[in-house]
């Protein structure tokens, strides 16, 4: 089996294992996904979902966030950590969405990364899942770890990992592939004690950096 065939096999197994892969973050529109993704930095999606259940009920539009007192936002997201920075980024991002993008979350990479608190990873999450636009591959800690162990990249920096993955995966599969790797990292290929014996990819995984 050559490398191209191995990658195709990896994609087929992931598709079969996670046929309807979506982000674990709960959202109903692009603005909610943007806010949830900003909040997810350095905390679990489960924690974010508990907070956004109340947050999304109180604030419905970018104008709602932009006009909300910063202390009010901080109080609502306090349990997530780094709440002052996150509240400031959310308020400022929504202010820019209102002033520059007519109150709507933009659907272009160069516009999204203009927003405070939004880097390429967050932009890729929003584009791929809220708009169905494959502009890149989301590279979080799960994707970095699983891609490295599968031998799909030797890089350590997210930007370089993304380039490697974009080269070996067809563009139309980027968003889906990102979600599948994230779920696989949570379910099987954990940072500590990866479940290699039960892993669906075990037969074709080189297990780089894994002691098992």
Q: Single out the residue in 81, 115, 130 at which a domain terminates.
A: 130
Closest CA to 142 of 167, 125, 123: 125
Q: Single out the residue in 98, 130, 162 at which a domain terminates.
A: 130
Query: Has 121 been annotated as catalytic?
Result: yes
pLDDT reading at 212 higher than 80:
no
Q: How many domains does the chain have?
A: 2
Number of C-alpha atoms within 13 angstroms, CB side, residue 193?
0
Q: Single out the residue in 90, 109, 130 at which a domain terminates.
A: 130
Of the candidates 9, 140, 164, 190, the residue annotated as catalytic is 140
User: Tokens 């982000």 identify what position?
Assistant: 23
Q: Could you list the residue range(s) of the whole structural domain that residue 145 is in?
A: 3-21+137-204
Q: Dig out the tokens for 79 from the structure.
A: 């349990």
Residue 210 falls within a domain, yes or no? no
Residues 62 and 29: their CA atoms lie apart, in Å, by 12
When pLDDT is cut at 50, 70 and 90, the band that residue 20 belongs to is confident
When pLDDT is cut at 50, 70 and 90, the band that residue 211 belongs to is confident
pLDDT reading at 112 higher than 80:
yes
108 and 35: one domain? Answer: yes
Average pLDDT of the chain to the nearest whole number: 96
- pLDDT, tens digit (0-9, with 9 covering 90-100), for 128-161: 999 999 999 999 999 999 999 999 999 999 999 9
101 and 35: one domain? Answer: yes
Is the separation of the CB atoms in 91 and 56 below 8 Å? no
Check the annotation: does 98 bind a ligand.
no
Residues 53 and 27: their CA atoms lie apart, in Å, by 9
42 and 113: one domain? Answer: yes
Check the annotation: does 94 bind a ligand.
no
Residue 124 falls within a domain, yes or no? yes
Residues 134 and 173: their CA atoms lie apart, in Å, by 8
Residue 211 falls within a domain, yes or no? no
Which CATH number goes with the domain that contains 112?
Answer: 1.10.340.30
Number of C-alpha atoms within 13 angstroms, CB side, residue 183?
19
82 and 59: one domain? Answer: yes
- pLDDT, tens digit (0-9, with 9 covering 90-100), for 35-85: 999 999 999 999 999 999 999 999 999 999 999 999 999 999 999 989 999
Query: Has 140 been annotated as catalytic?
Result: yes
């Amino acid at each position: 089996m050559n490398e191209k065939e191995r990658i195709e096999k990896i994609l087929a197994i992931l598709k079969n294992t996670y046929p309807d892969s979506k982000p674990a973050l709960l959202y109903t529109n692009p603005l909610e996904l943007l806010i949830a993704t900003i909040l997810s930095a350095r905390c679990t999606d489960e924690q974010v979902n508990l907070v956004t259940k109340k947050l999304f009920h109180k604030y419905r539009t970018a104008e709602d966030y932009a006009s909300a007192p910063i202390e009010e936002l901080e109080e609502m997201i306090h349990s997530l950590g780094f709440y002052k920075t996150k509240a400031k980024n959310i308020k400022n991002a929504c202010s820019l969405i209102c002033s520059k993008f007519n109150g709507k979350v933009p659907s272009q990479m160069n516009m999204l990364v203009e927003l405070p608190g939004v880097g390429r990873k967050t932009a890729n999450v929003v584009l791929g899942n809220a708009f169905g636009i494959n502009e890149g591959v989301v590279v979080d800690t799960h994707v970095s770890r699983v891609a490295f162990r599968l031998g799909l990249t030797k890089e350590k920096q997210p930007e370089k990992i993304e380039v490697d993955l974009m080269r070996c995966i067809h563009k139309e599969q980027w968003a889906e592939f990102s979600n599948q790797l994230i779920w696989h990292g949570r379910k099987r290929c954990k940072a500590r004690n990866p479940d290699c014996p039960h892993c669906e990819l075990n037969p074709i995984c080189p297990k780089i950096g894994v002691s098992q």
